[in-house]
Structure 1
Amino acid sequence: MFGGQQPILVLSQNTKRESGRKVQLENINAGKAIADVIRTCLGPQAMLKMLMDPMGGIVMTNDGNAILREITVQHPAAKSMIEIARTQDEEVGDGTTSVIVLAGEILAVAEPFLHQQYHPTVIIRAYREALEDIIKLISTDLSIPIDVKDRSKMAEVVKSCVGTKFISRWSELAVKIALDAVETVTLNENGRLEVDIKRYAKVEKIPGGTIDESCVLSGVMFNKDVTHPKMRRYIENPRIICLDCTLEYKKGESQTNVELIGDQDFTKMLQIEEEFVKKICDDIIAIKPDIVFTEKGVSDLAQHYLLKAGITAIRRLRKTDNLRLARACGATIVNRTEELTEKDVGLGAGLFEIKKIGDEYFTFVTKCKDPKACTILLRGASKDILNETERNLQDALHVARNLVLEPRLVPGGGAVEMAVSLALSKKQIKGPYSAVAQALEIIPRTLTQNCGANTIRTLTALRAKHASHSGDSICAWGIDGESGEIVDMNVKGIWEPLSVKMQVYKTAVETAILLLRIDEIVSGSKKSRDEPTNPAAMAAQHE
């Protein structure tokens, strides 16, 4: 009976439906609006944005991802744009501003072709072809290898990343911290490099002092004090044990019933509990450690036994802190005290001490022989400054990590965009393909605008420099973000990791393609209370 019928799209009265060219143009406008918000945050002369949330908290930053995370938008295409900043941040940790500005421009250059009745799939095909050519160009002709062991060259690259941030005044310190931290956590297992900065390079922010006092510890630090006031707070070359179990009475599981008849039964029960705690402590004391760190609790009785044996105990450590500590001092995290052996003891730490900073007590396990995990201690005037410094430092850490994993560089300051733009233009393919070449110029143009220089004159001169360049070397002429002048990036020493640039181009073009593919937005919005429901009232309202 229903065999010949086509499925029908049923739209209710309160469902809004927009389709065709109108939707594509709306999506382009939404993308451009998001890019305009972020545009002034590119380059060394970047302006900060101050964002206030409904709770009254403020965020001051020029990090594209942090800004977009705080903004509330309604348009679905604008939400997609915000998502790409997050992708960029998670993948390579830098270039969040560039990717938004570039994606907005790639969408903008598609607008004239839509007005000329080009079909979106034609534009998309040209964009895909352009992206393949860009990736081929920058991974071979327009990038140079870097020696990871050459610390001065590595420092130069990280410094050019930090130069656009709030922390740029302390760039020497920030670069040193980033390189030291990445060097510490780099692990070479079976010929495979592993640099896990998220798990093993923890940033600890302590308000007070100045940013100059920030440093990388050769070990770990956490906001804890000893459990008993008489325990030792300073131990050199300590024997450390890391536990993942409680040093307390064994609690009964739920639904436990205990029947006590006389008071001797109660005494017996307490005695069993005490014996259990004593056995746990005897297992620990047999190994002769100096310090015991546990993720769970330590009972008063256990503290008494450990104190008598001259052992310091620290309890309720976070799982992540325990992992870092175990890796730094060479200990093994043990789940049951009876399984403790000599090889589980961490002997790699040179010093254990507890310091009071401000109002809080902090435990330091430092002077580790081969830490492979570290804590970055940040000091600063206020929480806002510390939060912004941490965001900037995370970018620097990611850049250093990307260089270790993929040691290739491209010139910064818009030089690589100009070189790619020129190379694409040489193919003389008209239409959307050449529009991508034109869109890439947005990076040097925005850098020039943010310096307050003459945009048209500067870009024309930069184009001429690139067009007249001949030779085997990369044309590294770009914009000096401080003054807006055209400089040779080889002389200026501004380089960027290839992986960051590659991710910027891939994400920007793919997002533009995705948004151009949309030809219909259907949104079922709820009826407002004052909206009339009967058709007669609706007709009267229209009249």
Structure 2
Amino acid sequence: MFGMEAPRILVLSQGTKRESGRKVQLENVRAAKAIADVIRTCLGPKSMLKMLMNPMGSIVMTNDGNAILREITVQHPAAKTMIEISRTQDEEVGDGTTSVIILAGEFMAVAQPFLERNMHPTVIISAYRQALDDMTEFLKKDVALPIDLNNEQQILQVIQCCIGTKILGKTGEFACRLALDAVKTVYIDDNGRKEIDIKRYAKIEKVPGGVLEDSKVLKGVMFNKDVIHSKMRRRIEKPRILLLDCGLEYKKGESQTDIEMTKENDFTALLQIEEDYIQAVCADIIKFKPDLVVTEKGVSDLAQHFLAKANISVLRRLKKTDNNRLARACGATIVNRTDEIREEDIGLKAGLFEVQKIGDEYFSFIVECENPKACTILLRGPSKDILGEVERNLQDAMCVARNILLEPFIVPGGGAVEMAVGKLMSDKAKSFTGVTQSPYRAISRALEVIPRTLIQNCGGNTIRTLTELRAKHVTDEFKTWGIDGDTGAIVDMKTLDIWEPLAVKLQAYKTAIETAVILLRIDDIVSGSKKRETLEKEASSRANANAKPTEESQKEE
């Protein structure tokens, strides 16, 4: 798989290659199936792990679809497209990255018989687009159930289901509560406009050591920084915080600056100018009496002296993203020039500033903030590898919590939703006439790949179990019945309390169908690049041609 060759391409002219027709479409189908087969075993609670080795030599063990596909290198353009959809799914909803690849691969696979029978791809695409519209409608109207956002236990149960297939799922409610607390911290409801930006305002800090249960969501932020002067305070209660985007250093000239000194006291005058400037900058800060100054740039030794003398603690060279998060947590405004500081720019919401030593590193905590809209999740664990996997799982859990808060609807898991939607589509297919009926019905059957894969991954009897499940879904009262991923048995998802956010399923279906449609529309692969061997031959022939006149001239001499 990893060495999957690009399709053989016909040469049109020098440096231009082309392959076209039915052969390209069938090659695309095979590439999509190959990518889906790579991560098919990563679905469900009994999923297998993949061990990934990157070029740098580090090893990652994970069953996260997006993390696996990021490390895979393929040559086939259709396979590259399949890898991209996993990234899209991860960026949009943060979950379902394995499901979307399996579905897209199956949607391509069911198109193969129609292509081999010379059915035109446009006809298949028309049926697929109709299927997508019907899937969306059935999900929203017939399958999805509303969830009470005030019922925290139910939300935790949904998050638990979504990360139950991962390493973090073994820690139970603890990890789910971490994710929910972080998302609720950064949740903003501004007159009906909801915003949950977990990428910018919910930072995960991994600190090796301790056990996973020592992890917590801080009501504030933390950084891997220490105060810059030994005499500065390392613990301040209810600090006044000033955030700067400018350096507390003397501005030097650019590289072309020349200074000519003609008198012996000229250098002393220059030093005095620098000292006066630093003193004026520090005076602008000191008159507002902050307890803590945080800047994104550097702080000179002279500025350290003046600020330490005024009993002000300083953190320097903070990242822009960290400074933005701190501003949101403590209610401060980032100031670009010291002479523009106002009283309202000072942050007063923080309850405690403290520097702690964890292991060999110093960390600055600005916590106990009043209604912070930004937070830091402190992750503890035995090793960096485990912490890396826990971070990936926690990101998925936070995305699930965000999806539920933004769109409070859920659907049954365990393949039940695919069986229910597939049954509704099969019923509707009977009303179709013409050639589009067959591809439409094929899509309804292709959805069964999710429950089938769940059965296979836990070692169940695939054919018998799937037939029984199909029989259950004949009547609407059994539409929440699916596969227990641990045993392979048919159970009611209401009994097991296994649910998934509606947003994840909608995005997975849309992305998978759209990808299948795009790949089926391709009937030509044209490459304007030459093979490396050809380029090397041309380069060597040019070098030989240049060398011959020199040899002849030497003989003449």
Q: Normalized against structure 1, the TM-score is what?
A: 0.94
Per the alignment, residue 81 of structure 1 pairs with: 82
List per-residue Cα deviations over 1:283-338 (Å, max 9, x = no partner).
11111111100000111111111111110011000000001111101111111111
Q: Kindly provide the CA deviation profile for residues 14-73 of structure 1, in whole angstroms up to 9, marking residues without a partner as x.
A: 644221111111100000000000100001111110011222111111111110110000
CA contact 2:11–2:18 (8 Å) conserved in 1: no
- In 2, Cα distance between equivalents of 1:10 and 1:100: 32
Per-residue CA deviation, residues 479-506 of structure 1 (Å, 9 max, x unaligned), is: 1111111111111111111111000000
2:189, 2:253 → 1: CA distance?
45
Q: Aligned partners of 2:244 and 2:150: how far apart in 1?
A: 37
SS at match of 2:460: coil
Between the aligned partners of 2:152 and 2:537, the Cα distance in structure 1 is: 72
SS at 2:314 equivalent: strand
CA distance in 2 between partners of 1:152 and 1:263 (Å): 78
Match of 1:498 in 2: 502
Residue among 514, 518, 522 paired with 1:514: 518
Distance in 2 between residues matched to 1:533 and 1:346, nearest whole Å: 67
8 Å contact 2:11–2:17 — kept in the other structure?
no
Alignment of 1:372-391 (within 5 A): 372-391=373-392
Change (3 A) 1:525 1:335: closer
1:466 Cα deviation from its structure 2 partner: 1.1
Question: Which amino acid is the alignment partner of residue 284 of structure 2?
Answer: D
| Larger mean Cα displacement after TM superposition, 148-157 or 498-507 | 148-157
Is the Cα contact below 8 Å between 1:162 and 1:171 reproduced in 2? no
Give the whole-Å Cα distance in 1 for the aligned partners of 2:459 and 2:494. Answer: 24
Within 1, Cα distance between the matches of 2:182 and 2:397? Answer: 10
Which residue number corresponds to residue 452 of structure 2? 445
**1:399 and 1:527, CA in 2 relative to 1: closer, same or farther beyond 3 A?**
closer
Q: CA RMSD in A?
A: 1.7
SS of the aligned residue for 1:137 comes to: helix
Alpha-carbon distance in 2 for matches of 1:285, 1:33: 65
TM-score using structure 2 length? 0.91
Aligned to 2:153: 152
Aligned counterparts of 1:16 and 1:309: Cα–Cα separation in 2: 72
Q: Is the 8 A contact 1:207 1:382 kept in 2?
A: yes
Residue 465 of structure 1: how far off its partner (Å): 1.2
In 1: Cα distance, 2:536 partner to 2:221 partner: 65
Moved more, 277-286 or 245-254: 245-254
Deviation of 1:253 after TM superposition, in Å, equals: 3.5
Q: Does structure 1 conserve the Cα–Cα contact (< 8 Å) formed by 2:39 and 2:65? A: yes
Gap change, CA 1:503 and 1:234, over 3 Å in 2: same
Provide the secondary structure at the position in 2 that maps to 1:140.
helix
Question: Stretches of 4+ moved more than 3 A in 1?
Answer: 13-16, 527-534
Amino acid at match of 2:494: N
| 3-state SS of paired residue (1:22) | helix
Q: Contact between 1:203 and 1:390, CA under 8 Å: does it hold in 2?
A: yes
Which residue number corresponds to residue 296 of structure 1? 297
Distance in structure 2 (CA, Å) of the matches to 1:26 and 1:100: 17
SS at match of 2:259: coil
Contact 1:408 1:497 in 2 (8 A): yes
Task: Give 5+ residue unaligned stretches, structure 1.
Answer: 1-8, 535-543
Q: Distance in 2 between matches of 1:160 and 1:501?
A: 14
Partner of 2:7: none
Alignment-derived partner of residue 125 in structure 2: 124
Identity in percent: 67
**Pairs within 5 Å for 1:169-248:** 169-248=170-249
Q: Is the 8 A contact 2:36 2:101 kept in 1?
A: yes
Indicate conservation of the 8 Å contact 1:99/1:507, yes or no. yes
Q: Give secondary structure in 1 for the equivalent of 2:423.
A: helix
* Greater shift in the superposed pair: 515-524 or 412-421: 515-524
Q: In the alignment, what sits opposite 2:266?
A: 265
Q: Deviations over 1:412-463 (max 9, x none)?
A: 1111100000001112243100000000000010011111111111111111
Q: Aligned pair 1:481/2:485, yes or no?
A: yes
Displacement after TM superposition at 1:148 (Å): 1.7
Deviation, 1:254, is 4.0
Equivalent positions of 1:317-466 (< 5 A) are 317-427=318-428, 428=430, 429=432, 430-466=437-473
**Which secondary structure does the structure 1 equivalent of 2:474 belong to?**
helix
SS, match of residue 231 in structure 2? coil
Q: 1:385-409: per-residue Cα shift (whole Å, max 9, x none)?
A: 1111111111101111111111111
Residue 21 of structure 1 is matched in structure 2 by 22
Shift of 1:139: 1.3
Task: Establish whether residue 252 from structure 1 lines up as the match of residue 256 from structure 2.
Answer: no
TM-aligned CA deviation for residue 527 of structure 1: 4.1
Q: Distance in 1 between matches of 2:290 and 2:130?
A: 64
What is aligned with 2:5? none
For the residues of structure 1 that align with 2:142 and 2:233, how far apart are their CA atoms? 61
Give unpaired runs (5+ residues) of structure 2. 1-9, 539-557
2: distance between equivalents of 1:12 and 1:387?
A: 49
Superposition deviation, residue 521 in structure 1: 1.3
Shift of 1:11: 2.0
Distance 1:531 1:167 in 2: 50
Per the TM alignment, residue 531 of structure 1 is displaced from its structure 2 partner at its CA by 10
The CA distance in 1 between the partners of 2:362 and 2:297, in whole Å, is 19
Distance apart, 1:144 and its partner CA: 1.1
Equivalent pair of 2:226/2:362 in contact (CA under 8 Å): yes
- Separation (CA, whole Å) in 2 of partners of 1:465 and 1:528: 57
Q: Distance in 1 between matches of 2:534 and 2:143?
A: 61
**Match for 2:530: what amino acid?**
K
